[in-house]
Every structure is written in C-alpha cells, then in structure tokens.
Structure 1
Amino acid sequence: MFVAPPGYQPVYNPSIPYVGPIYGGLRSGMSVYIQGVIPHEITSFNMNLQCGESEGSDIGFHFSPRFDNWDKVVFNSCQEGEWGSEEEIHNMPFSKGDAFEMVIFIKQEGYQVTVNGQDLHTFNYRIPVERVNALQIGGDVSIQTISIIGGGNPGDDQIGGNLPVMCGQPIYNPPVPHSSIIPGGMFLKKTIVIRGMVPLGANSFSINFMVGSSRDIVFHLNPRLQESVVVRNSLIGGSWETEEREISFNPFLEGQYFDMSIRCGNQQFKVFVNGQHMCDFIHRFQNFSEIDTLDVEGHVQISYVHF
C-alpha cells in the first residue's frame, strides 16, 4: 500500500468546516493545492492559513469569495483578534455548480492565488509565513482534495519504509502534448504525481513512461472515455504487447478533476487515483533507470506534475 509522509499525503473529501495541520509550517517555494465544487446555493466560503488549529488563532491569510449582489473575493489577515484592512477584487473566478482548482503559491513577497489556472491576486505578508501551520475551510463549499506541496520535514522524501521518493520542482499547467525528463530516471519507490482534468467532449488521452533513447513505451496508461475503459500496455521494439483493462474503478470522467500517483515497486507499477488504488501493471521492462521520459498527450488538461 502506498503511504505518503506528512506533507505529501492529500486529504480527500473532508467534511466542512475543516481544520488541519500543515506539517513543518509554510515557507517560500511551497504551495497549497485545493480541488472542490461550488454548490448552486451559496452565500460565501472561506479559507484561512492560520498560526494554529484552535479557534482564535492568528490568520496569516484569509480568502473569502462572497456571492451577493456585489460578487467579490475578499482577502485579509487577523492578529490578536483584530482584522486588518480588507483587499478585494470583483473578478469572481468561481461559478455556482462548477468544479474548481485553486493553488496558493507561497512566494517571497506573499500568497499568490490562481484559480483554474488563472492568476487572481497576490496578498503580501502581514504575519511571517513561517508562523502559519494550519488550514481552515468553512462555508458553502465542497472540497475533494487538499494537498500541501513541498511540505514535510527534511528527509521525508528519502528512501525508506513505505515513503515515496520525489525530487525536483513541480511543473504547473504544462501544455499538452507534454514531454519531460524524469529526474534520475525510475527506480524503486519513485513516485510521480499527476493532477489534471478531463475536459468535456474528451475522447482519450495517454500517459507514457518511456526510454528516451529508443522511444520504447514501458508503461502506457490510456483512459478511453467513449469506451469507459483504462487500457494499459507497453510498446517495445515497435510492437504493442498485450493490453490490460481490468480496474477496480474508473475515475476518469468528462469534466472531472483527477489526482493520480504512480509508484514504481519491485514487481509492478502501482496506480492510485483520488486516494484509491486503481490498478497495478506488472513490469515488462526491468531496467528502471533507463525509463527517463514522461509523455502526456490527448484530450486532457494537466495542472501539476511532480517527480
């Protein structure tokens, strides 16, 4: 079973209101990744990056979309029970009934917010970001995934036990088709996280783990929307091998976000989507270190890749 260390383990489908820790606190270079859905009946919701999990903790960053006759998004901070001056924008990025994907980037100067891949606002620090160690979410919103990216304690991403091995900087919103080098190639316990969305009207897409020098596809993952199947295969020496189609569930649906982790084990690749084990793919190519390229193509939007 894939078990991620604190800082890499996403939270799935939390009940609202939600309060949870940010292990090790925040620092520049990290980000907070949230997927959710705005209900049709909504007044407002809020997300607070706090200096503690208890009620009344200082709030380093308060984010509050408000749906009224003057739809707006409010940003603020709160110290010792006193709210600061509000910053607001009237470019509402959320739509009633629609899914959304939000990233809060921890920059040198402040919190940079993007929604559905579009920059929204940067809120300059009023409280040292190193004090922030909790996330609170409340109001009219349904949350599917919360991830703290770049978190955990030093050494969390080293080899050992069931911990995944991840390295390199995340890639955000790459255009598709996308090709990138896998830092260090594939090896035991190496884990790759891919997050994105299947657009409406999609037919199929593929995620390929390849040997760059030969263009052999060692692991081909191919959701086919019209057939409602997820095909796995390999292409070695120019010839496709035997297809595999059995899965425990199919998470790839039109208009839906997905959160996938693919881990290299002793005998197989293990694939988890939205926190659930979807399938395994027995290795057909044993020299892991030669697998050095990730290719993504087809009808898919990719928001985040982390090696």
Structure 2
Amino acid sequence: MSPGEKLDPIPDSFILQPPVFHPVVPYVTTIFGGLHAGKMVMLQGVVPLKAHRFQVDFQCGCSLCPRPDIAVHFNPRFHTTKPHVICNTLRGGHWQREVRWPGLALQRGASFLILFLFGSEEVKVSVNGQHFLHYRYRLPLSRVDTLGIFGDIYVKAVGFLNISPFVEGSSEYPVGHPFVLQSSRLEVPCSRALPRGLWPGQVIIVRGLVLQKPKDFTLSLRDVAAQVPVTLRASFADRTLAWVSHWGRKKLVLAPFLFYPQRFFEVLLLCQEGELKLALNGQALGTISLDQQALERLRELRISGSIQLYCVHY
C-alpha cells in the first residue's frame, strides 16, 4: 500500500460478529452494524423441562430506565393449556396489540434451532428448519441495535449471519446450520469427503473465526487423483483473496478483503453447471469456471490456516 493510501471503508452490511457460546441468561448484546434486510440471527438451545416462558427481544438500545423500545418481541409460552407464541412491539413504554401464534413448534426438554430472517417489511421465524411465523414491523428496522434474551431457556449459541446472495428474491427459505464449539471434527486442518463430487445446486458453507495473528486461510477441492484443481486462498500479509489452480494460475478476487483478526467469517461456494460461485460474509465475489466433469470428480474438501472452525456444511 502506497504512502497516504487508505483502505476502503467496509460497509456495515459486511460486518459480522463472532457467535456467542453458552451465554448466561438474561443476556443482552449489541448487534454489530444494527439490523437490515437480509440479516439473520440464529439461536441454538434447549427448552428446560419445567419452562414457563422465554422471550427474544430485538431492542432499540439497551438502557434499563427508561425501558428501550422493542421492535420485535418473540415470546413462547409453555405453561398454558395451549402453548403458543406471542409477538408484539413495545413503543414509548406501551405494548401494542399482540399477535398470537398457536401450534407452538417448541417443546419442553427438546433442543431447537430458531432462525430470525429480517426482510424489508417483516421478520420470518423458522424453528428446526420449518417456517413458523412472520411478523410485520411496527418500528423501523434501522433503529434496532440490541438483542436481549430472557426467561426459561438454555442457550448453546447465538449467531449473526447474512442471507446468501444466491437465493435472494427466491422462494427458498434459508436453513440454519448449527455452530459447534471445540469439536474434534472441526479441528484445523479439516478434511471432508465428497463421495458424489459436486453437482449443480450444491452449496458448501464454511463458518469460523480468524485467529488473533493470522497468516493465511486455504480452502481446497481435491479430485480422485489427489490433484487440486482449485484452491481459494486468503493471504493476510498482502490482504488478497485469490483462486489458485493446480497449474499455478492465480486469479485475484477483486473485492474488499473481508478477513479480520478475531472476526467471524462465512465462505459460501455455490456449484452451478460448469462453474463455482463465491460469496464471503453474504457478498457475492465472483465466479470461477470449471467444467462439469471436473466438478463431479472432486472427492475431498480441505480447510487449513489461521482459523477456528464453527461449521462446515455441504
């Protein structure tokens, strides 16, 4: 970088924060960059056997007095004859008209994965991969900057994600993939078999945390002959992201470098016929051509570098 040259500012939509594991409830945290359409919050946990109720609040601030406005109040109640969920909005210290959703998709003593998907006009909520409810905003989403979790709930992890740019506008509903902390299956370097190779529509998702003093990050796809037709490599020394073929060809990804020390990241690869599409932190970054036969011959995914892994899905 030449003297006086400044790094490109990173838009708030690129900012993702590390997941939180096993927080003590009640738990309140800032949402980096606030909420915007296309952002997701994932909640993993267990409902205690004697749970009465819990609530997840997307708040406009974190003050105790006066109580902050709450744009989205998600409140499962288990102690009634007919368990249900209440959604509501707190404005100026007053609750608005509540909306009740019967047929509660959560059960006492059971684990769950709740995904809050924020759109331009409403939030959609899925439970264990199935759409459960939608709630229309009564306060501007842009005011929300705080997450609060209260009540009878055991939380394993809280994740902050962006929707895949490759499904935006489609009818497909995003599915959350659980975060895992300190699993032997996620030790780096990490290897995963691809018994069927890659085929159109397949998605590879890698989520993790960049270490404090990183050197590099590599995601490679190996074929049946143990060759490496393509590698995605991030270099922290010169802050570049590149595709590297086994012929030594290097193609830089011309986009802001979005890997930062002690910052969460999400790499997404979408396989389409004759090509691989890349997204990082919810931003589409480009495509590399690879003929369909070569994609089908790929048999192994390898991940290495200065990172801690939380999720590998394919």
Aligned partners of 2:48 and 2:154 also within 8 Å: yes
Secondary structure of residue in 2 paired with 1:49: strand
Query: What do the CA deviations read for 1:77-115 (whole angstroms, capped 9, x no partner)?
Result: 001100000000111110111110011111122111111
Matched, 1:127 2:127: no
Deviation string, structure 1 residues 12-50 (Cα, Å, up to 9, x no partner): 110000000011110111111111100101100000000
Instruction: Compute the displacement of 1:53 (Å).
Output: 1.4
Query: Displacement, 1:148?
Result: 1.5
Does 2:87 correspond to 1:41? Answer: no
Alignment pair present for 1:187 and 2:245: no
Distance 1:295 1:135 in 2: 26
User: Aligned-pair distance for 1:146?
Assistant: 0.8
Per the alignment, do residues 37 and 169 of structure 1 end up closer, same or farther by CA in structure 2, a change over 3 Å counting?
farther
The equivalent position to 1:54 in structure 2, one of 63, 88, 102, is 63
Aligned partner of 1:273 in structure 2 is 310
Which residue of 33, 49, 58 maps to 1:24?
Answer: 33
Contact 1:179 1:295 in 2 (8 A): no
Unaligned runs of 5+ in 1: 152-166, 195-210, 221-261, 275-293, 297-307
Output the amino acid matched with 1:13. Answer: H
Specify the code of the residue in structure 2 equivalent to 1:173. V
Equivalent position to 1:217, from 283, 296, 299: 299
Q: Could you list the per-position Cα deviations for residues 138-184 of structure 1 after superposition, in whole angstroms to 9, with x for gaps in the alignment? A: 00000111111139xxxxxxxxxxxxxxx855883399987237899
Residues in 2 aligned to 1:181 and 1:47: alpha-carbon distance in whole angstroms: 30
Q: Distance in 2 between matches of 1:181 and 1:143?
A: 26
CA distance in 2, matches of 1:49, 1:146: 13
Shift of the 192–78 alpha-carbon distance from structure 1 to 2, 3 Å rule, reads closer
Distance 1:141 1:88, change over 3 A: same
Match of 2:185 in 1: none
Q: Secondary structure at the residue paired with 2:114?
A: strand
Partner of 1:172: helix, strand, or coil? coil
Aligned counterpart, 1:92:
104
In the alignment, structure 2 segments of 5+ residues that lack a partner are: 1-13, 168-172, 178-193, 206-218, 220-229, 236-240, 242-264, 269-289
Structure 1 66/179 Cα, relative in aligned 2: closer, same or farther at 3 Å?
same
- What is aligned with 1:149? 161
Q: Is the 8 A contact 2:115 2:176 kept in 1?
A: no
Q: Secondary structure at the match of 2:106?
A: coil
Q: CA–CA distance in 1 between the matches of 2:166 and 2:46?
A: 28
Match of 1:64 among 75, 81, 86: 75
Q: Does 2:118 match 1:106?
A: yes
Is the CA contact 2:83–2:104 (under 8 Å) kept in the aligned structure 1? yes
Identity %: 28
Query: 2:75 and 2:112 mapped to 1: Cα distance?
Result: 15
Aligned-partner Cα distance in 2 for 1:295–1:187: 19
Is contact 2:42-2:176 (8 Å) kept? no
Which residue is 2:7 aligned to? none
1:184-229 Cα offsets, whole Å, 9 max, x none, are 96122675569xxxxxxxxxxxxxxxx8726243436xxxxxxxxx
TM-score (norm 2): 0.55
How far is 1:126 from its partner?
0.3
Shift of 1:123: 0.7
Q: Distance in 2 between matches of 1:295 and 1:11?
A: 19
The RMSD of aligned alpha carbons is 3.5
> Counterparts of 2:307 and 2:299 in 1: how far apart (Å)?
17
- CA distance in structure 1 between the aligned counterparts of 2:24 and 2:204, rounded to whole angstroms: 38
Return the alpha-carbon distance in structure 2 between the equivalents of residues 186 and 140 of structure 1: 43
Q: How many residues align?
A: 197
Aligned amino acid, residue 97 of structure 1 = G
Q: 1:173 maps to what in 2?
A: 175
Runs of at least 4 residues off by over 4 Å: 167-171, 174-178, 181-185, 189-194
Q: Is this contact kept in 1: 2:17–2:32, CA < 8 A?
A: no
Q: Decide whether the 8 Å contact of 1:11 with 1:145 is kept in 2.
A: yes
Q: Give distance in 2, aligned partners of 1:42 and 1:57.
A: 26
